[in-house]
């Protein structure tokens, strides 16, 4: 199943003219997807311990309440008929139909996706007018929701003292009523407000990852701290006597910058870090390793017995290596190095669903060694079928 763009647009047009640039409403873009998940099933997920969920209630013009899950049945029995919404994060990790939705957006690198969040709203229910720092595809799955969008704002003023981020000012520039199967794409920073209309409604939001530069800097420097050897120290072998001993000469600053740049600007380290960083899991999405270890020799038998899939929590990416190896595979924040002849296998491993015995045909022993690790970590698991 693929996203059906408006007839006048192909994927490259969408990427050139809308992606990260301007909103696009796509009517009937996902007519054939399985959106049968019911409000009760969503509520059930929101009652589970490990699932991140929240409820937003609007009591008055500027009075918003935020409740955090997990919820229990009672929490749902005492709600008003109007003005509340339930939101459940990371549904793609728990329900195959939500993971399947991500495949409709195959033209965006898979490591850019964060999650599918599903919201349920009664009439008047919403999270208020806000901006997000990431791109989002708002997919109407059930019922109708009125979306208003405003300007693109960099650093918006928010209403004070509220548990959620609500814009202090919101002026709708465009407004649409979305029906099941319609999709609204919003680039980062566009003010938006989606309110449940008549009856109840469900929206599946495909959210992208957009780490802040501060977050990337923090992560990269942390990564470097593990790489830089302890014996790497500040040195100044070409010292001359100074008129003022307290003065810091430009060449002293340069010596320090050179020492930092050697690490900060190393292209191979940056490449390795970027792959690890983008495949790291959120802390609560922990994947338990297998208890019984699998040896390489058992892999063919295991692939005869089952079809395999990437664990729904796991994150995968690969790139051409620039250092000691031709290919780098990144899984759940870890790097695996592979020779160039594994390229097509690597691609299958990261992109294909499900994985079958094709993956093993003429595979290099280095690839099989990596497969064994992936199976033992449970990052690859048998399909349920
Ligand atoms: C919602 O589904 O109510 C909120 C989605 C969003 O605004 O990003
Ligand atoms: Co939003």
Q: What is the distance in A from the centroid of ligand 1 to the CA of 127?
A: 7
- The vertex-231 CA angle with 227 and 237, nearest 5°, equals 125
Q: How far is the CA of 198 from the centre of ligand 1 (A)?
A: 17
Q: How confident is the model at residue 123 (pLDDT cuts 50, 70, 90)?
A: very high
What is the reported pLDDT for 323? 81
Q: What is the mean pLDDT of residues 242-258?
A: 97
Residue 243: the pLDDT is: 97
Q: Which atom of ligand 1 lies nearest, measured to the CA of 193? A: 7
DSSP for 233-285, please give it: ----TT----SSTT---HHHHHHHHHHHHHHHT-HHHHHHHHHHHHTPPPTT-
d(CA 207, CA 89): 10
Fold for domain 11-208?
Jelly Rolls (2.60.120)
Give the Cα separation of 213 and 124 in Å (integer).
36
Is residue 181 left, alpha or beta, with left meaning phi > 0 and alpha meaning psi from -120 to 50? left
The rounded distance, in Å, linking the Cα atoms of 1 and 3 is 7
Would you give the DSSP letter of residue 294?
Answer: P
Pocket probe mutation, ligand 1, options 203, 204, 208, max atoms within 8 Å of Cβ: 203
> Is pLDDT at 309 greater than 80 in this prediction?
yes
55-58, long-range: CB < 8 A, 24+ apart: 55/84, 55/85, 55/86, 55/87, 56/84, 56/85, 56/87, 56/125, 56/126, 56/127, 56/128, 56/164, 57/83, 57/84, 58/83, 58/84, 58/124, 58/125, 58/126, 58/128
Per-residue pLDDT, 48:
97
Closest CA to 147 of 168, 130, 133: 130
Percent share of the chain, pLDDT over 70: 100
Compute, in angstroms, the gap from residue 31 CA to the centroid of ligand 2.
22
pLDDT per residue as tens digits for the range 92-116: 999 999 999 999 999 999 999 999 9
296-382 and 11-208 share a CATH fold:
no
How far apart are alpha carbons 11 and 4 in whole angstroms? 10
296-382, what's its fold? Malonyl-Coenzyme A Acyl Carrier Protein; domain 2 (3.40.366)
Percent of the chain with pLDDT over 90: 95
pLDDT mean over 125-153: 96
**Number of Cα atoms under 13 Å in the Cβ half of residue 256:** 5
Distance of CA 83 from the midpoint of ligand 1 (Å): 14
Q: Measuring from each residue's beta carbon to the nearest atom of ligand 1, which residues come in under 6 Å?
A: 85, 119, 126-127, 132, 136, 192, 194, 203, 205
Count other Cβ atoms within 10 Å, centred on residue 69: 21
- Determine the Cα–Cα distance for residues 32 and 309; give it in Å rounded to an integer: 23
Q: What is the structure's pLDDT at 62?
A: 87
* Burial status of residue 166 (CB atoms within 10 A of its CB: 0-12, 13-18, 19 or more): buried
User: Which residues have CB less than 5 Å away from ligand 2 (the ion)?
Assistant: 132
> CA angle 179-107-358, nearest 5°?
115
Distance 317 CA to ligand 1 centre (A): 28
Q: Span 334-348, mean pLDDT?
A: 98
| Residues contacting residue 197 through CB under 8 Å, at least 6 positions apart | 123, 143, 144, 145, 146, 177
- Predicted pLDDT of residue 152: 86
Structure tokens at 41: 């099933």
Is the pLDDT higher at 8 or at 61? 8
| Reported confidence tier of residue 315, pLDDT bands at 50, 70, 90 | very high
Length of the chain in residues, anyone?
A: 385
Q: What is the pLDDT of residues 193-227, one digit of tens each?
A: 999 999 999 999 999 999 999 999 999 999 999 99
Instruction: Provide the pLDDT for residue 172.
Output: 97
**Domain residues of the chain, as ranges?**
11-208, 296-382
What is the pLDDT of the chain when averaged over all its residues? 96
Q: Which atom of ligand 1 is nearest to the CA of 119?
A: 2
Q: Is the pLDDT of residue 61 over 90?
A: no
Residue nearest to atom 5 of ligand 1 (CA): 205
Give me the half-sphere count of Cα atoms (radius 13 Å) on the Cβ side of residue 340.
4
Pick 353 or 153 by higher pLDDT: 353
Tell me if residue 355 falls in helix, strand or coil: strand
CB-neighbour burial class of residue 143 (10 A; exposed 0-12, middle 13-18, buried 19+) = buried
Q: Where are the alpha helices (DSSP H) in the chain?
A: 11-17, 39-46, 73-77, 96-103, 213-225, 250-264, 267-278, 299-305, 343-351, 365-376
Residue whose CB lies within 8 A of the most ligand 1 atoms, among 86, 117, 183, for a mutation test: 117
Rounded distance between C-alpha atoms, residue 263 and residue 259, angstroms: 7
Contact 331, 316 (CB under 8 A): yes
pLDDT digits (tens, 9 = 90+) for 152-195: 888 889 999 999 999 999 999 999 999 999 999 999 999 999 99
Which residue has the CA at smallest separation from atom 1 of ligand 1? Answer: 119
Answer whether residue 385 shows pLDDT above 80.
no
Q: Which two tokens stand for residue 187?
A: 């680039």
- CA 314 – CA 219 distance, rounded (Å): 19
């Amino acid at each position: 199943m693929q996203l059906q763009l408006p007839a006048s647009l192909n994927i490259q047009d969408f990427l050139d003219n809308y992606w990260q640039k301007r909103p696009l409403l796509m009517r009937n873009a996902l007519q054939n997807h399985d959106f049968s998940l019911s409000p009760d099933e969503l509520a059930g997920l929101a009652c589970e311990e490990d699932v991140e969920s929240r409820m937003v209630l609007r009591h008055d013009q500027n009075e918003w309440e935020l409740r955090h899950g997990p919820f229990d049945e009672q929490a749902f029995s005492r709600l008003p008929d109007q003005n509340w919404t339930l939101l459940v994060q990371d549904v793609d990790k728990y329900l195959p139909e939500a993971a399947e939705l991500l495949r409709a957006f195959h033209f965006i690198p898979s490591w850019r996706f964060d999650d599918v969040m599903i919201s349920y709203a009664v009439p008047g229910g919403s999270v208020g007018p806000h901006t997000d720092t990431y791109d989002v595809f708002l997919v109407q799955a059930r019922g109708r929701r009125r979306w208003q969008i405003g300007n693109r704002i960099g650093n918006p003023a928010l209403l004070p003292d509220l548990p959620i981020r609500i814009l202090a000012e919101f002026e709708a520039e465009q407004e649409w009523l979305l029906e099941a199967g319609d999709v609204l794409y919003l680039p980062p920073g566009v003010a938006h407000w989606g309110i449940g209309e008549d009856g109840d409604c469900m929206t599946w939001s495909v959210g992208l990852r957009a780490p802040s530069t501060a977050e990337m800097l923090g992560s990269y420097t942390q990564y470097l701290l593990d790489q830089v050897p302890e014996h790497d120290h500040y040195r100044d072998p070409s010292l001359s006597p100074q008129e003022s001993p307290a003065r810091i000469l430009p060449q002293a600053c340069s010596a320090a910058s050179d020492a930092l740049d050697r690490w900060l600007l190393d292209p191979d380290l940056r490449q390795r870090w970027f792959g690890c960083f983008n495949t790291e899991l959120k802390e609560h999405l922990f994947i338990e390793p297998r208890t019984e270890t699998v040896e390489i020799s058992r892999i063919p038998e295991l692939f005869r017995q089952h079809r395999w899939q990437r664990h729904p929590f796991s994150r995968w990416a690969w790139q051409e290596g620039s250092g000691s190896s031709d290919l780098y595979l990144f899984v759940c924040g870890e790097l695996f190095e592979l020779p160039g002849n594994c390229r097509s296998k690597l691609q299958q491993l990261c992109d294909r669903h499900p994985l079958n015995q094709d993956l093993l045909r003429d595979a290099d022993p280095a690839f099989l060694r990596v497969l064994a690790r992936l199976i033992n970590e449970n990052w690859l698991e048998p399909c349920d079928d």
